[in-house]
Chain A
Amino acid sequence: MSPTDKRTTDFGYQEVPLDEKASRVADVFHSVAARYDVMNDLMSMGIHRVWKRLTIERAGVRPGHQVLDIAGGTGDLTLKFSRLVGPRGKVVLADINASMLNVGRDKLMDNGVGSNVEYVQANAECLPFPDNSFDCITIAFGLRNVTDKDAALRSMARVLKPGGRLLVLEFSKPNNPLLTKAYDEYSFRLLPKMGEWVAGDGESYRYLAESIRMHPDQETLKSMMEDAGLERVEYTNLTGGIVALHRGIKL
């Protein structure tokens, strides 16, 4: 066995071989893809729509822009971006998971989205696009599932045009101890049960709660983005820090 094979990474609270995480995450999302939107609404009581809306507002996307929505899943952001970029622009919905991409494509087609959206099954760590291709890149609730986050951020910075923006919407660390306690109770006790009842898969939602705790906090992610070559990195805590929206610019 080569030394690379012995390296491990987190999969929730478990340590798994580095090359196993992607397939394990894929299994989680294959399992929940069909009920993903329902569960998102249920788990967040609909607030995820407002978080995503704020991301769209901060993205500053205009007609003619090229936008990459990584880990775009069921296409919530892509739907709005496709209207904002208009026929002269382009939105690429990228996800590593084929099941999520299929659900997203069906949903977008049902909503009349057509010619200005492309679907790409891609790994965020090695994006299959030329350098300086996109005016805006978003990754909403996807970065924590990536095995090598630094590589993914570097890859995103590479394909971003100079002056382009990267927005990372991700679960983070609440800044209030009382909220942290309530949030822990909710996500470790109630969430897996809800997952079991609605999506028929409690384990996937246990992974969700664990992966959130293993994800870097606001300041760490900010410095990771700066290390990847982004500048003017800033973040906004949403709903008491349960979620944070990071934004960096490639200069």
Chain B
Amino acid sequence: MLLTPTLLLAGCERTLNALLARDPASPARLARLSGSRLLVRFEQPRLALVLHYHDAGIDLLRADDLDDRHADAVVELTPETLSAWLGGTSVEQLMFEGKLAIRGQVHLLEATRTLLLDLDLDWENELARWLGDTPAHSLAEGVRRAADWGLRTRDELVQDVAEYVFEEARLLPGRQQRDVLRDQLTALEVATDRLEARFKRLDRRLRAGARQ
């Protein structure tokens, strides 16, 4: 059990570095970060990780007893902050909202997100290493054509189903009918409000007449 976190971390590191190795933009990004250490303290689960950048990738190490002074930047993350950060919310905004605590070189966090999320994998090149240039290109073209066909077919299917449901079978109202219905309901609401106001006015007059 003691080795499980280490094993998981080793798996993550290997996968991450394999992905980074296949991204043409990563070497330049890693070269800028090389030698830096980002200490990430997760609140849930309670875990401290050091991301140590080097030219070929990232070393992920547990750092339960590492002093903050020995990292270039220290960031404290909750699950909500992590998901917001990965979702694209800017570091400045998260800091301004008080959700993110970061000390040291703040730009390391932004650079890490760029490195990890802007991956543009050159998978055709990797395939070429295994199969050779021509077969890999043919296979990649086939996959691309299949993907295009899949996307086109999905769009057409959605279009056909929408037309059948709205226009032919008339099971659901279309957007235009819905807009007309909404306008008429709004007119009805305004008319009932006016009628209610007239009733109140009439009521006030009748009460005033009865008192005289």
Contacts and interface: CB of A to CB of B under 8 A. Distances in A.
26 contacts: A47-B3, A49-B10, A50-B6, A50-B10, A51-B3, A53-B6, A53-B9, A54-B2, A57-B6, A57-B62, A57-B63, A60-B65, A60-B66, A62-B70, A63-B35, A63-B37, A80-B59, A83-B54, A84-B52, A86-B35, A87-B35, A112-B55, A112-B56, A236-B2, A238-B3, A239-B3
Q: Which of B3, B37, B56, B70 counts the most chain A CB atoms within 10 A?
A: B3
A231 B182 CA distance: 80
B119 to A, nearest CB: 21
A53 B54 contact: no
Interface in A46-105: 47, 49-51, 53-54, 56-57, 60, 62-63, 80, 83-84, 86-87
B9 to A, nearest CB: 8
B7 interface: yes
In the A-B complex, list the 5 residue pairs whose CB atoms are closest, starting with the nearest: A83-B54, A86-B35, A54-B6, A57-B62, A62-B70
A49 B55 CA distance: 22
B19 interface: no
Given A47-B3, A53-B9, 11 more contacts: A50-B6, A53-B6, A54-B3, A57-B62, A57-B63, A63-B35, A83-B54, A84-B52, A84-B59, A112-B55, A238-B3
A41 to B, nearest CB: 14
A80 B54 CA distance: 10
A67 B93 CA distance: 41
Contacts of B66: 60
Interface string B25-53: 00000000001010000000000000010
A236 B6 CA distance: 14
Interface string B59-74: 1011101100010000
B140 to A, nearest CB: 30
A83 B59 contact: yes
Contacts of A86: 35
Interface of B: 2-3, 6-7, 9-10, 35, 37, 52, 54-56, 59, 61-63, 65-66, 70
A13 to B, nearest CB: 30
Contacts of A236: 2
Contacts of A80: 59
A56 B13 CA distance: 14
Contacts of B3: 47, 50-51, 54, 238-239
Contacts of B61: 56-57
A54 B63 CA distance: 11
B2 A238 contact: yes
Interface in A193-251: 236, 238-239
A247 to B, nearest CB: 12
B14 to A, nearest CB: 10
A54 B52 CA distance: 16
A49 B35 CA distance: 23
A140 B145 CA distance: 52
Contacts of B9: 53
Nearest to A111: B56
A172 to B, nearest CB: 14
B52 A53 contact: no
Nearest to A82: B54
Contacts of A239: 3
A11 to B, nearest CB: 31
Contacts of A47: 3
Contact of A50 (B7, B52, B62): B7
B12 to A, nearest CB: 12
